[in-house]
């Protein structure tokens, strides 16, 4: 489910959303996701990997900077690997890769 929101309230959806991972993004990355050009988000392994895996997140909410504008997606998978530099991943370093998709239900 991609939901553009102008406030911090959760979008109404009859489907249960168990655990939402909130991530603040730079405008550039947020806008690429909004246009459907970026399909993964990256985070530093040392700071994020255990925290993300322990919580069992089902969805990810991207915030456009520190504004109230956000997008909500289902998490498809979380893994460690080399990301795409054109999508913001560092070159020659593994990162946590959060793959997401729209909820079509």
Instruction: Spell out the CATH class of 20-101.
Output: mainly beta
Give Dmax over CA atoms of the chain in angstroms: 42
What is the pLDDT, as a whole number, of residue 7?
42
Residues found in the chain: 105
Q: Say what the pTM is.
A: 0.78
pLDDT value at 81 more than 90: yes
What is the pLDDT, as a whole number, of residue 54?
81
Rg of the chain (C-alpha set): 13
What is the pLDDT, as a whole number, of residue 72?
96
Q: Mind spelling out the 3-state secondary structure of 25-47?
A: ECHHHHHHHHCCCCCEEEECHHH
pLDDT value at 77 more than 80: yes
Q: Coil, strand or helix: which one is 71?
A: strand
- Give the mean pLDDT of 69-88: 95
What is the pLDDT, as a whole number, of residue 1?
47
- Pairing outcome for strands 70-81 and 59-64: antiparallel
């Amino acid at each position: 489910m991609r939901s553009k929101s102008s406030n911090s309230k959760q979008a109404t959806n009859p489907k249960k959303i168990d655990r939402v991972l909130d991530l603040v993004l730079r405008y550039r990355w947020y806008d690429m996701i909004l246009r459907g050009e970026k399909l993964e988000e990256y985070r530093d392994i040392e700071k994020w990997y255990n925290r993300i895996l322990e919580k069992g997140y089902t969805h990810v909410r991207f915030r456009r900077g520190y504004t109230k504008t956000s997008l909500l997606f289902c998490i498809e998978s979380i893994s460690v690997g080399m990301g795409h530099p054109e999508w913001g991943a560092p070159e020659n370093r593994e990162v946590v890769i959060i793959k997401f998709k729209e909820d079509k239900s």
